Structure 1
Amino acid sequence: MTGKNGQLGSELMGIQMSYPGYRFVFLDRKDLDLSTLEGLSGLFEQYQPAFFVNAGAYTAVDKAESDKELAMSVNGIAPGKIAAICKQFGTKLIHVSTDYVFDGNGEYPYLPDHPTSPVNYYGQSKLQGEQAAMEANNASIIIRTAWVYSAYGNNFVKTMLRLMNERPSIGVVSDQFGAPTYARDLAIAIMDIIEKGAGHYGIYHFSNEGKITWWDFAVAIKEIAGLNCQVNPISTADFPTPAKRPAYSVLDKDKLKKDYDVQPRDWKAALKECMGYLERI
């Protein structure tokens, strides 16, 4: 799998001992540069993988607005090339995508077949990657996820903990709605799909259960950590960023539940587990 050092890759590395029947091969940028894919054929010839999890991506959402060529190479072009070689070798592809393929104007959880319309270049590049993968190999599995966090890397939970320990008060956006994803839960869901043979293809959605704002998320982090920082709700207009964010990105997960019996847990239960782990490391 790609993205060895990312949040999802790190979580998959962390749970691999629970799946002794599989041999895992984790790739970082030096093993496989997704902007060039040099050596991709050699890796497939060497390992003959039954499954390929493409968890690597260009994830700097704001930077993507100006670094378009690299974002498109990694997010938009590479998935199609990976899907094509998976088809050649009879490898089942699981490709990770994002809620940012939607415009955020919805009022109900987005179904996998809902029309896409990205509001930023990162979302545009990820959508092109989805399309390229499915065109090259329609026996691909694409999992869109949202608001990913974990004990690894940089993410909202770790940023909030740092700021709440540094400042008496902070402002957090309260008019964007979604559901967080604990990367460990996503890693387990991917292994559930693999263990069931990955026989259903197409686009799926995964996040933890719930509908909250970033402000709700921050308040829960504060409460679980027992911190005294005041968390003030602010509007998106009060916190301008180079890349626009979707105002609503709750994902409908019924297709994943039906096809693979994956049952996501409540977002707060997942958050408590992650923060408990953070306290121990």
Structure 2
Amino acid sequence: MKIVILGGLGNLGSQLAQTLERDHELSVFDRVDFDVLDENALLNILKDIRPDILINCVAYNAVDNCEDKKLYETALALNCELPARLAQLALQFNFLLIHYSTDYVFNGLETKKEFSENDTPNPINKYGESKFLGEREILKQAENGLKYYLIRTSKLFGPQGGSPQAKPSFFDIMFKLSQDNKELTVVNEELSCFTYTPDLAAATARLISSKAVYGIYHLINEGAVTWYEGALELFQLLKQKVAVRPIRSEDLTRPARRPKFSVLQNNKVKKLRPYQEALREYLNNL
């Protein structure tokens, strides 16, 4: 099948390209190729390629920056207006739209129950709000027959993509900080699941190959942990002695609130392996 990947040089997009190139005809685009918010450029690409599937990995995910009014406009453009436009184009050109969202669409305040695919989002920060608004635009078009997979995930880690804007993961940051600091302070709250980008890419490929029912999917590696617990696991696997001190979310001065509990529950497809196994593989491949 012909597949277009937007954001193809990012951390997730790069893994999707590696995973899908064996069985599909790929057209991979990143910001160096064209501006995804340029409607004419996007339209011309779709007219030329006529894809069967479009995978959108474009997102504005600087959580704290989204609290700034002007930067939130950028977040809305990429996280809401772009998926809205892609959903319209998917109907026009009859392709399957695959879009990624986040655990931050849930507030994590009212329950300690894992969030299922059917739970109603209620974000507590502007980043989560922008992603939820993008989800809502896709679901509007689903009523008109849109073919879509809306995939929620959380705490991505894995090989860094080729884009200059590709961000290091939490584990990358922890390892780097440990080289220069005798003690690290890490939040022992914000319980959720880490997700290994090669595993997420493989799970996405399985949705495609199995012709899964259109809808919302939660794809995460199993094993809910806090940031602090994740850091302990990292240094244990590295056999590295690092003093890690737990702190509360409130001990950090950050513009955006974070959910204390945003564990996604995968009820629809084969569960991904425990994050510890994925992290061990990632570290072995460094």
Q: TM-score range by the shorter chain?
A: over 0.9
- The whole-number CA distance in structure 1 between the counterparts of 2:115 and 2:74 is 28
- Structure number having the greater strand percentage: 2
Pick aligned residue for 2:57 from 55, 58, 61: 55
Q: Indicate the residue corresponding to 1:265 in structure 2.
A: 273
Which stretch shifts more, 130-139 or 204-213?
130-139
Overall identity of the aligned pairs, in %: 33
Give SS of 1:64's match: helix
Q: Indicate the residue corresponding to 1:25 in structure 2.
A: 27
- The whole-number CA distance in structure 1 between the counterparts of 2:32 and 2:41 is 11
Q: Indicate the residue corresponding to 1:145 in structure 2.
A: 153
What letter matches 2:215 in structure 1?
G
Q: Is the 8 A contact 1:150 1:274 kept in 2?
A: yes
Find runs of 4+ consecutive structure 1 residues off by over 4 angstroms: none
Is 1:41–2:43 an aligned residue pair? yes
Give SS of 2:99's match: strand
Q: Is the 8 A contact 1:206 1:253 kept in 2?
A: yes
Q: Is the 8 A contact 2:221 2:271 kept in 1?
A: no
- The whole-number CA distance in structure 1 between the counterparts of 2:150 and 2:34 is 20
Q: Indicate the residue corresponding to 1:195 in structure 2.
A: 209
Instruction: Give the 5 Å matches for 1:22-171.
Output: 22-66=24-68, 67-105=71-109, 106-137=111-142, 138-152=146-160, 153-171=167-185
In structure 2, the gaps of 5 or more residues are: 161-166
In structure 1, the gaps of 5 or more residues are: none
Q: Indicate the residue corresponding to 1:185 in structure 2.
A: 199
Question: What is the root-mean-square deviation of aligned Cα atoms in Å?
Answer: 1.3
- The whole-number CA distance in structure 2 between the counterparts of 1:12 and 1:209 is 20
- The whole-number CA distance in structure 1 between the counterparts of 2:169 and 2:88 is 32
What letter matches 2:267 in structure 1?
D
Give SS of 1:25's match: strand
Q: Is the 8 A contact 2:67 2:126 kept in 1?
A: yes
Q: Deviations over 1:220-276 (max 9, x none)?
A: 111112222211111111112111111101111012x1xxxx331111001111111
Q: TM-score, normalised by structure 2?
A: 0.91
Q: Is the 8 A contact 1:2 1:28 kept in 2?
A: yes
Q: Is the 8 A contact 1:37 1:78 kept in 2?
A: no
Which stretch shifts more, 4-13 or 118-127?
4-13
Q: Deviations over 1:138-177 (max 9, x none)?
A: 4321000011111214110100110111111101000221
Query: Once the 2 structures are TM-superposed, how far is the Cα of residue 33 of structure 1 from its aligned partner?
Result: 2.2
Give SS of 1:57's match: coil
Pick aligned residue for 1:10 from 7, 10, 14: 14
Is 1:224–2:229 an aligned residue pair? no
Give SS of 2:75's match: helix
